[in-house]
Structure formats: structure tokens, C-alpha cells
């Protein structure tokens, strides 16, 4: 599989401009906004988990409505703060808004809200296909931006007034930040931590995650779908009798970043889907306070083909690396390549 750029040399300088914080805020206020149905799993969970454990900001996971948020390609979480709730708490707006990929990138409620947040001075970050929502909101006009390698050709055709740029994990143009595909959520989150709290804090969090390199260098030209990838997807979808369910037991304090990375990777094989499993009917909160919605229990787990144990002693990136090795072992190298290209997982 090769070694990831996420494990390269440690950066020695900041890669983002300083995030502007309102004078009335003792700490930066960060809102991560998703659609109740559907929001990309790691785009949403990773920034939330990184910012919460860094303890550098007041961080909110929000959606148009309280209640369930269904994630793509799997899992669901409980949202306890609606857009209206957040606006009541912070009528002056957030300092930073994270916009993950959502199913309806032209969601008018979310678009109007991020437009208003930007007018109030917030820096807006579009992660992966979250850049579609920023583009629909008119926030990328006459700006440089990047996006998931698969979407860049269509983005270029649809939004000709944006300067679309390849070979960047993330890109800042004034108060707008955009990123490449799914796994870019880790380096951009660390770069934001560095922008707010300095290099040492970012390095400490990166070490905890298993990451040593979070600059913006990237080779998006190596990512493409050929006949092998399309044939693999078709084959994996067709043979439904060989599909597997992967159970991920969770407990109080489970690392939600590890859960998201493992579930996201397994659920992109087109041969398997990951679900969380709990041993109690009581709500279980992860390390950073996320409540995953469990649709399975211990009895269901007995029917599952594989139980994937998440331990906090193993770093999130190592959980991802182990999962990719397991995918190769169970489903073959072609399926592994299909998954890593979807994730835009960089290799040397």
C-alpha cells in the first residue's frame, strides 16, 4: 500500500492564515454543520473530534433540526443543537464554520445560514464535496479552490468563475478554505489547530492521532477511476450474497475518529457495511461527546461476519491502516484500490 504522506516529515511552519476571532469571544467558536440526511461521516466527525480534544475552541455539531443525522456511507449520530439553537446562543455568529459533503449540496437552509455566517465574519471551510455547497452559496466566486479529485472536472464546468486548483490537500483564499477528498479532513483540522493555538498544540494532537505531517502538499493526479475500478464496483455490488456486515462495538469514551475512519473505509468496499454495536440501551458518548445511534445489539453481533474492535490504545491512523490491510486480505487488492481512491488517501 505504501506509506502515506500523513507520515512524512514534520512541518515547521503554519500553513493557514490566523483564524479571525470576534472580540466578544473568549475562545474561537466553531460550528460544524451537516444535513440531517445525509452528511459524509469522516468529513463531519474528524474535525469535531480534533477540535474537541485540542480544547482550543467552543465546538458545536449542528444541523437544521435536532435529532438524528444519517451519515454517508454509514452510521448515524444524535444532534442536540439546531441551527436556531446556535443562532440564539451566538447571534453575532461563529468564527469558523465547517461544511462537510452533504447529500443535497444545494440545501437552501444550510446555504443561507453559511452565507449569513460569512457576512458576519466567519471563515468557511468546505471539506471534500462540501465545496459544492460553498460554490452554490456563491462563496467561491473569483477565488481559488480545490475539491475531491473525482468532482473537480464537474466543479470546473459548473462554476467557471472559480479558479479550480489540483494537487492541494487544502487551499485558503482569504476567508474561504477548501479541501481535497475525504481523508483531507485530518490535515485541514490539524492546520486549523495550528492556526489557532500554534505548532506545539497541533503537533501534540497529531502525535495522538498518529499523524506527523499535515501540510497542503498533495498529488491529485495519481487518482483516477479506470476500467478496473468500475469493474470492481460492479462486481462487488452484483454479488450480494457475499456482502458482509462489520460490527464495531463501542463503549463510553470510544475514540470517534477511529470509529469513523474504520466504518467509512469498510463501507466503501461495496461488499461490506459497518455498524456500531452497543451492549446497553443507555446512550453511549464517545471521547469527544458524540452519540452514535446503535441499530444493533449483542445478539445482532453474533450474526455479523466480523467484529472490528476499536481500542483507544491504538492510534486512529493505525486503525485506518489496519482496516485497509484487512480490506485487501478479505476482498483483494482491486477493492483496496477502489476504497483508497474514494478516500483520496495519499500514498508515496
CA dist., res. 43 & res. 178, Å (int)? 12
Count of C-beta atoms within a 10 Å radius of residue 263? 27
How do residues 37-57 score in pLDDT, each as one tens digit?
A: 999 999 999 999 999 999 999
What percent of the chain lies above the pLDDT cut of 70? Answer: 92
CA dist., res. 215 & res. 60, Å (int)? 25
Report CA torsion sign: 282, 285, 286, 292: positive
176-201 core/surface letters (b: 16 or more CB in 10 A; e: else): bbbbbbbbbbbbbbbbbbbbbbeeeb
Region 16-30 average pLDDT: 93
30-67 core/surface letters (b: 16 or more CB in 10 A; e: else): bbbbbbbebbbbbbbbbbbbbbbbbebbbbbbbbbebe
> Cβ(44)–Cβ(261) under 8 Å?
no
Region 129-133 average pLDDT: 98
Query: Cell numbers of 323, please?
Result: 482496516
- Give burial (CB, 10 Å; 0-12/13-18/19+) of 230: exposed
Domain ranges of the chain: 5-220, 227-343
**Would you say residue 300 has pLDDT above 70?**
no
CA dist., res. 197 & res. 171, Å (int)? 19
| pLDDT at residue 298 in the model | 57
DSSP state of 204: H
| pLDDT at residue 296 in the model | 67
What CA dihedral angle connects 249, 324, 335 and 35, to 10 degrees? Answer: 60
CA dist., res. 322 & res. 211, Å (int)? 15
Beta bridge partners of 60: 31
With a threshold of 0.85, does the pTM exceed it? Answer: yes
Architecture of domain 5-220: 3-Layer(aba) Sandwich (3.40)
**Would you say residue 243 has pLDDT above 80?**
yes
How do residues 245-258 score in pLDDT, each as one tens digit?
A: 899 999 999 999 99
Region 86-98 average pLDDT: 98
Pairing assessment for the beta strands 272-277 and 244-249 based on DSSP bridges = parallel
> Cβ(166)–Cβ(221) under 8 Å?
yes
| pLDDT at residue 241 in the model | 61
CATH number of the 227-343 domain: 3.40.50.880
CA atoms within 13 Å, Cβ hemisphere of 61: 26
Q: What are the start-end ranges of the H helices in the chain?
A: 41-54, 83-89, 108-119, 130-136, 152-158, 185-197, 199-209, 227-238, 256-266, 298-302, 316-331, 333-343
303 φ, ψ to 5°?
Answer: -90, -5
One fold for 5-220 and 227-343: yes
Closest of 152, 202, 144 to residue 174, by C-alpha: 144
Higher pLDDT, 12 or 286: 286
Beta bridge partners of 71: 39
Computed on alpha carbons and rounded to an integer, the radius of gyration of the chain in Å comes to: 19
Q: Give the least confident one: 31-35, 302-306, 326-330.
A: 302-306
38 preceded by a cis bond (ω within 30 of 0): yes
**Would you say residue 297 has pLDDT above 70?**
no
| pLDDT at residue 132 in the model | 98
Amino acid at each position: 500500500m505504501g506509506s502515506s504522506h500523513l507520515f512524512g516529515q514534520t512541518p515547521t511552519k503554519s500553513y493557514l492564515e490566523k483564524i479571525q476571532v470576534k472580540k466578544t469571544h473568549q475562545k474561537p467558536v466553531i460550528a460544524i454543520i451537516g444535513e440531517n440526511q445525509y452528511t459524509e461521516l469522516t468529513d463531519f466527525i474528524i474535525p469535531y473530534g480534533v477540535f474537541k480534544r485540542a480544547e482550543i475552541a467552543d465546538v458545536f455539531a449542528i444541523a437544521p433540526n435536532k435529532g438524528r443525522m444519517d451519515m454517508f456511507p454509514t452510521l448515524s449520530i444524535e444532534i442536540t443543537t439546531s441551527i436556531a439553537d446556535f443562532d440564539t446562543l451566538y447571534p453575532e455568529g461563529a468564527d469558523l464554520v465547517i461544511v462537510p459533503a452533504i447529500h443535497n449540496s444545494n440545501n437552501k437552509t444550510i446555504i443561507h445560514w453559511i452565507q449569513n455566517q460569512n457576512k458576519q465574519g466567519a471563515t468557511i471551510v468546505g471539506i471534500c464535496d462540501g465545496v459544492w455547497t460553498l460554490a452554490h452559496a456563491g462563496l467561491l466566486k473569483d477565488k481559488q479552490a480545490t475539491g475531491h479529485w473525482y468532482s473537480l472536472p464537474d466543479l470546473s464546468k459548473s462554476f467557471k468563475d472559480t479558479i479550480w486548483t489540483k494537487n492541494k490537500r487544502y487551499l485558503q483564499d482569504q476567508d474561504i478554505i477548501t479541501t481535497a477528498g475525504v481523508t483531507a479532513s485530518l490535515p485541514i483540522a490539524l492546520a486549523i489547530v495550528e492556526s489557532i493555538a500554534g505548532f506545539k498544540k497541533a503537533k501534540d494532537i497529531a502525535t495522538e492521532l498518529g499523524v506527523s505531517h499535515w501540510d497542503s502538499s498533495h498529488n491529485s493526479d495519481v487518482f483516477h477511476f479506470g476500467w478496473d475500478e468500475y469493474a470492481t464496483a460492479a462486481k462487488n455490488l452484483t454479488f450480494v450474497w457475499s456482502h458482509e456486515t462489520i460490527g464495531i462495538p463501542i463503549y463510553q469514551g470510544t475514540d470517534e475518529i477511529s470509529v469513523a475512519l474504520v466504518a467509512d473505509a469498510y463501507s466503501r468496499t461495496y461488499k461490506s457495511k459497518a455498524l456500531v454495536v452497543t451492549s446497553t440501551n443507555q446512550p453511549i458518548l464517545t471521547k469527544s461527546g458524540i452519540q452514535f445511534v446503535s441499530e444493533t445489539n449483542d445478539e445482532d453481533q453474533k450474526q455479523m461476519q466480523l467484529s472490528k474492535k476499536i481500542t483507544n490504545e491504538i492510534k486512529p491512523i493505525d486503525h485506518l491502516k489496519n482496516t485497509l490491510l484487512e480490506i485487501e486480505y478479505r476482498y483483494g487488492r482491486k477493492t483496496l484500490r477502489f476504497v483508497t481512491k474514494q478516500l483520496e488517501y495519499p500514498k508515496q
